[in-house]
Amino acid sequence: MADALAAKQEAEGGKTAEVDHYFDIPLNAAKAITGFKHDEIVPGVDYQKFDQLQDQNRRWKLWK
């Protein structure tokens, strides 16, 4: 998998590309272990049951 992503990175322009395919290497490794990836829809999960929490105390952030 890493070789395929490295080839994809080189095809996009290597270090000067506007995308970083190397970033997906640890994410794909985590998917191989857990069975899901953070940015993919998991079949059978009802996402409507989740509530979105909003930060009411923004003082802890390091940026504005």
Tens digit of each residue's pLDDT (9 = 90 or more) over 26-60: 999 999 999 989 899 988 989 888 887 776 666 66
> 34-61 burial string, b = 16+ CB within 10 Å, else e?
eeeeeeeeeeeeeeeeeeeeeeeeeeee
Domain residue limits, the chain: 1-37
Handedness of CA 60, 54, 35, 21 (dihedral sign): negative
Structure tokens at 13: 């322009």
CA 27: distance to chain centroid?
A: 6
Residue 61: per-residue pLDDT: 61
Its pTM stands at 0.59
